[in-house]
Structure 1
Amino acid sequence: MFNNDRLLVQILLLALLGACLWVLAPFVSALFWAAVLAFASWPLMRLLSGALKGRESAAAGLLTVGWMVLVALPLAWLVSNLADHVRDATELVKNVQVEGLPAPPEWLIEVPLVGERLVRVWNSIDAQGAAFFAGLKPYMGQAGNWILARTAQVGGGMVELVLSLVLVFFFYRDGPRMAQFVERGLERLIGERAEHYLELVAGTVQRVVNGVIGTAAAQALLALIGFWIAGVPGALVLGIVTFALSLIPMGPPLVWAPATAWLAWHGDYGYAVFLGIWGMFVISGVDNVLKPYLISRGGNLPLVVVLLGVFGGILAFGFMGLFLGPTLLAVAYSLISDWIGQPQPSQPAAAARDTEDRPS
Structure 2
Amino acid sequence: MPNNDRLLVQILLLGLLGASLWVLAPFWSALFWAAVLSFASWPVMRWLTRVLKGRQSVAAGLLTGVWIILVAVPLVVLGFNLADHIRDATALIKGFQVEGLPPPPSWLASVPLVGGRLVSIWETLDQQGSALFATVQPYLGQVGNFLLVRSAKIGGGFLELALSLILVFFFYRDGPRLAAFVESLLERLIGDRAQHYLELVAGTVQRVVNGVIGTAVAQALLAYIGFMIAGIPGALLLGLLTFACSLIMVPPLVWGPAVGWLIWQGEIGMAIFLGIWGFFIISGVDNILKPYLISRGGNLPLVVVLLGVFGGILAFGFMGLFLGPTLLAVAYSLLSDWVAHKAPAGLPPREERSPPL
**Fold equivalence (TM over 0.5):** yes
Aligned to 2:349: 346
C-alpha displacement at 1:20, in angstroms?
0.9
Aligned to 1:259: 258
Aligned to 1:89: 89
Structure 1 unaligned residues grouped into runs of 5+: 352-360
* Residues 222 and 133 of structure 1, relative CA distance in 2, 3 Å threshold: farther
* Residues 105 and 286 of structure 1, relative CA distance in 2, 3 Å threshold: farther
C-alpha displacement at 1:316, in angstroms?
1.4
Q: Which amino acid aligns with 1:329?
A: L
Aligned partner of residue 247 in structure 2, secondary structure: coil
Residue by residue over 1:101-131, the C-alpha shift from the partner in whole angstroms, topping out at 9 and shown as x without a partner, is: 543665766546x666555545544444333
Give, in whole Å, the separation in 2 of the partners of 1:322 and 1:244: 16
C-alpha displacement at 1:350, in angstroms?
5.7
For 1:13-24, list aligned pairs within 5 A.
Answer: 13-24=13-24
Residue by residue over 1:196-226, the C-alpha shift from the partner in whole angstroms, topping out at 9 and shown as x without a partner, is: 1111100110011111111111222222223
* Residues 126 and 227 of structure 1, relative CA distance in 2, 3 Å threshold: farther
Give, in whole Å, the separation in 2 of the partners of 1:108 and 1:46: 63
* Residues 334 and 176 of structure 1, relative CA distance in 2, 3 Å threshold: same
Give, in whole Å, the separation in 2 of the partners of 1:77 and 1:17: 41
* Residues 294 and 146 of structure 1, relative CA distance in 2, 3 Å threshold: farther
For 1:224-263, list aligned pairs within 5 A.
Answer: 224-249=224-249, 251-263=250-262
Please tell me whether the aligned partners of residues 187 and 193 of structure 1 are also in contact (alpha carbons under 8 angstroms). Answer: yes
Percent identity over the alignment is 70
Give, in whole Å, the separation in 1 of the partners of 2:226 and 2:145: 33
* Number of residue pairs aligned between Structure 1 and Structure 2: 349
Residue by residue over 1:5-57, the C-alpha shift from the partner in whole angstroms, topping out at 9 and shown as x without a partner, is: 11111111111111111111111111110000000000000100111111111
Aligned to 1:164: 164
* Residues 298 and 142 of structure 1, relative CA distance in 2, 3 Å threshold: farther
Aligned to 1:216: 216
Aligned to 1:99: 100
Q: Which amino acid aligns with 2:241?
A: V
Q: Which amino acid aligns with 2:57?
A: S
Aligned partner of residue 246 in structure 1, secondary structure: helix
Please tell me whether the aligned partners of residues 261 and 272 of structure 1 are also in contact (alpha carbons under 8 angstroms). Answer: yes
Instruction: Work out whether 1:197 is the aligned partner of 2:197.
Output: yes
C-alpha displacement at 1:143, in angstroms?
3.2
Residue by residue over 1:130-171, the C-alpha shift from the partner in whole angstroms, topping out at 9 and shown as x without a partner, is: 334443334444333332222211111111111111111111
* More displaced 10-residue stretch of structure 1: 115-124 or 291-300: 115-124
Please tell me whether the aligned partners of residues 104 and 119 of structure 2 are also in contact (alpha carbons under 8 angstroms). Answer: no
Instruction: Work out whether 1:68 is the aligned partner of 2:68.
Output: yes
* More displaced 10-residue stretch of structure 1: 159-168 or 90-99: 90-99
Please tell me whether the aligned partners of residues 105 and 269 of structure 1 are also in contact (alpha carbons under 8 angstroms). Answer: no
* Residues 218 and 304 of structure 1, relative CA distance in 2, 3 Å threshold: same
Aligned to 1:272: 271
* Residues 106 and 244 of structure 1, relative CA distance in 2, 3 Å threshold: closer
Q: Which amino acid aligns with 1:331?
A: V
Please tell me whether the aligned partners of residues 223 and 242 of structure 1 are also in contact (alpha carbons under 8 angstroms). Answer: yes
Please tell me whether the aligned partners of residues 108 and 118 of structure 2 are also in contact (alpha carbons under 8 angstroms). Answer: no
Structure 2 unaligned residues grouped into runs of 5+: none
Give, in whole Å, the separation in 1 of the partners of 2:144 and 2:281: 30
Aligned to 1:150: 150
Please tell me whether the aligned partners of residues 215 and 287 of structure 1 are also in contact (alpha carbons under 8 angstroms). Answer: yes
Instruction: Work out whether 1:300 is the aligned partner of 2:299.
Output: yes
Give, in whole Å, the separation in 2 of the partners of 1:13 and 1:302: 39
* More displaced 10-residue stretch of structure 1: 116-125 or 211-220: 116-125
Aligned partner of residue 135 in structure 1, secondary structure: helix
* Residues 85 and 156 of structure 1, relative CA distance in 2, 3 Å threshold: same
* More displaced 10-residue stretch of structure 1: 261-270 or 31-40: 261-270
Q: Which amino acid aligns with 2:228?
A: W
Give, in whole Å, the separation in 1 of the partners of 2:189 and 2:306: 30
